[in-house]
Amino acid sequence: MELSLKSNLNSYKRILVTGGSGFIGGYMVKTLLKETNCYIANFDKLGYASDNKIIDDFIETQPNEEKILFLSRYKFFEGNLNKKLVLEDVFNTFKPNLVFHFAAESHVDRSIDNPDNFIDSNIIGTYNLLEVIRKCNSEKNLSIKLIHISTDEVFGSAKYPTKFQENSPYNPRSPYSASKASSDHLVSAWFHTYGVKSIITNCGNNYGPWQFPEKLIPLSILKALNNEDIPIYGDGKNIRDWIFVQDHINALLYVATNGEIGNRYCIGASNEITNINLIIKICKILDKLITNKTSHENLIKFVKDRSGHDKRYSIDSLLISKLGWKPLTSLDEGLDITINWYLSNLDWCNNIKQKSNFTGERLGISN
């Protein structure tokens, strides 16, 4: 990490991460522990996809002196953003200067099956967080900065050659993206009306080690390893803009230290690829790593498309690049890292699937 970036982060002293037991949030907690001297708090409800192992493993593998130091700087609070009094207690106890807000229900298919959870978590939860921050700022004379992590899906589908930019109109087409769009609007309103210092980021599809196995890349890897059909929605030509999770974390750190309050930043790695070509890439890598009589590509099976399935996501990252950030991991490199990690961590995959009662079944088929 650049010295100036680390110095700017250390000036915050106390950083709260909501959803720090999730996939992306866990990387943030780990990175902040490793790269800063700040005290870090993780507020997470420990939902079906939550897992603290990424953080615990990182701490446990450090030399004893470092381990003691990290444990002294890290605090975990179990709680739900829907419980405002619990959230207030966390803020009163920890007194954060900076908040990274990851906590959200994030799987489109699950939002189709049960939108209630997405309204409760993504909208009501964000509202409660904003109100607690507003109250702390006004009553305790604090100046808490909020980095609200959102998704490119709030913009709908990008027609070629258009790319999503900070001023792109909102056009959410799933319960998930609609709930995230709502949370974005709340953050913007609390900035303009109440002066809550905030920045909104909209990022493309994340991937990497430790991602819950319901998402496309880990699901496809595990289906292939189990010699099961690899499902592809529709004709497989839907395009996504993929970013390696650590590149996303680095972008957020640049936003937190160099970004302008009240601004929005789109984050992408310019890795546009169709779903079918992505899965073919994964299969080819697996073919090199695992000797089968036939290619893993033979497991690909086209299935009925998802309702409201956006055709293309594409991100223009020019604004955030002006802050000094750029992605460091190519798609091929990131897939190699990710696939090899899952091959070496099948026990973790089986354990978290068992804990969540997820067996790899098709989700999001409710009409």
Catalytic residue numbers read: 152-153, 176
Q: How large is the greatest C-alpha to C-alpha distance in the chain, in angstroms?
A: 68
Rg from Cα positions in the chain? 20
Q: What totals of helices (H) and strands (E) does the chain contain, helices first?
A: 15, 12
Tokens of 244: 């390696």
Query: 37 Cβ partners below 8 Å, 6+ apart?
Result: 10, 73
What does the alpha-carbon distance between residue 260 and residue 257 come to, in Å, rounded to a whole number? 9
Terminus-to-terminus CA distance in the chain, angstroms? 47
What is the Cβ-side half-sphere exposure of residue 347, based on CA atoms within 13 angstroms? Answer: 2
Alpha helices in 162-306 (DSSP H): 175-194, 216-225, 245-258, 275-289
Beta strands in the chain (DSSP E): 14-18, 39-44, 74-78, 98-101, 145-151, 198-203, 205-207, 230-233, 239-244, 264-267, 272-274, 300-303
| Token pair 């009409």 in the structure block, residue | 367
Give dist(CA 55, CA 22) in Å, integer.
10
Phi, psi of 148 (to 5 degrees): -95, 115
Hey, how many other C-beta atoms are within 10 angstroms of the C-beta on 141? 7
Q: What is the DSSP string of 267-309?
A: E--S-EEEHHHHHHHHHHHHHHHS--SS-GGGGEEEEPPPTT-
For residue 34, the surrounding DSSP H or E stretch is helix 23-35
